[in-house]
Structure 1
């Protein structure tokens, strides 16, 4: 009986659907292993904040908000729609997504993603103004990125 080549054997195996409908992509600034860990967390997430592609989108939105050069303060804008696409209008929601993914990641991938987020947090703290009336708000949050002045246009 003739020997079958390994390529022919691999071709007969069904395609693995461990990553969902689309293959994982590499997130800019992360290694392949960390990107796979992030994609695994997104695929296994509950779907409210964390869904496939949410981390990459949150990182891009966070960088976009902090991108305008200069020394003028930046004001996060609240989103008027709560759907998954419009909620990223509020940069604080993008930071919520990043925080939730950071909590769910394994230690090595968490450290790598944390090295990307930490300098962005420093710029966010430097470029936003603290809210002097945060103690009078009906809702209080423990998250520091909600304690800044908001509700104005981001670019002026």
Structure 2
């Protein structure tokens, strides 16, 4: 993990980013209950503030998964997959995702988001 973070050349995959992304993803999904969760849009795109948007944290995890060797990828995947299941269950599909100006192949951007996930 450390090696890909150091050698990636990616703006967002830097030393410690994968750990931070995993913690942020867990933190977002932590509130108990059945109420839907809405990812918060980040107001700043710097590498620190961008984690305000949990979808960015998921982007970082996806980048790491794509770069890791098979065994490490499987290990990280075992941590991420159950979180993805909870994310899908606790967020709502965006019925207008196909009409957005920008499109993405990542499913986590096709869920409803709010300005602030804390209210």
TM-score (norm 1): 0.74
The alignment partner of 2:66 has SS state of helix
Q: Residue in 1 aligned with 2:70?
A: 107
Q: Residue in 1 aligned with 2:35?
A: 72
Root-mean-square deviation (CA, aligned residues, Å) is 0.9
Structure 2 Cα separation of the partners of residues 79 and 69 of structure 1: 23
Structure 2 Cα separation of the partners of residues 155 and 72 of structure 1: 12
Q: Residue in 2 aligned with 1:23?
A: none
Q: Residue in 2 aligned with 1:127?
A: 90
Structure 2 Cα separation of the partners of residues 108 and 59 of structure 1: 18
Show structure 2 runs of 5+ residues with no match: none
Pairwise CA distance, 1:155: 3.1
Q: Residue in 2 aligned with 1:92?
A: 55
Structure 2 Cα separation of the partners of residues 49 and 59 of structure 1: 14
The alignment partner of 2:14 has SS state of coil
The alignment partner of 1:50 has SS state of coil
Structure 2 Cα separation of the partners of residues 47 and 146 of structure 1: 20
Between Structure 1 and Structure 2, how many residues are aligned?
Answer: 119
Q: Residue in 1 aligned with 2:7?
A: 44
Q: Relative CO higher for 1 or 2, CA cutoff 8 Å, sep ≥ 6?
A: 2
TM-score (norm 2): 0.97
Q: Residue in 2 aligned with 1:143?
A: 106
From the two aligned structures, give the one with the greater helix fraction: 2
Structure 2 Cα separation of the partners of residues 95 and 123 of structure 1: 13
Show structure 1 runs of 5+ residues with no match: 1-37
Displacement over 4 Å in runs of 4+ = none
Pairwise CA distance, 1:153: 2.4
Pairwise CA distance, 1:111: 0.2
